Amino acid sequence: MRASRLQHRTGILWIAALVHRLAGLALAIFLPLHFLTLGLAIDGEARLDSFLRWTDAPLVKLSEAALVFLLLVHMLGGLRLLVVENLEWHDGQKQLATLAAAVSAMLAFIFLVRAL
């Protein structure tokens, strides 16, 4: 009985909604860190330069690519939701969700290759 109650959570559209929300949470966590980094510029050039040298590390570059992926997933997921809420429902919703994830992954990979 319990499995049938959770069966809807295996669908691609439910997973797309979950990824959209998790990406939003991750971005909300990142934003204060971004503002702290911008604050380093106010503290002085030496502190900002030191931080910018640290950002050249490969793990930081990989994290930046993950951030680009999260931004794209959240943006494309939000656009998909706008379409769902404002236009008629059609059978291609699952394909749109999959396309949004694929485009996000591809653009994040391109960003990563260019950053390294």
pLDDT exceeds cutoff 80 at 24: yes
pLDDT given for residue 40 in this prediction: 83
Let me know: does 27 contact 74? Beta carbons within 8 Å. yes
| Domain map (residue ranges) of the chain | 2-115
For range 56-63, the mean pLDDT: 87
pLDDT given for residue 4 in this prediction: 66
Distance separating alpha carbons of residues 95 and 88, to the nearest angstrom: 16
DSSP-H helix ranges across 44-57: 45-54
The model's pLDDT over 38-59, given as tens digits with 9 standing for 90+, comes to 888 888 888 888 888 988 888 9
CATH of region 2-115, choose from 1.10.260.40, 1.10.1200.10, 1.20.1300.10, 3.30.300.20: 1.20.1300.10
For range 98-102, the mean pLDDT: 81
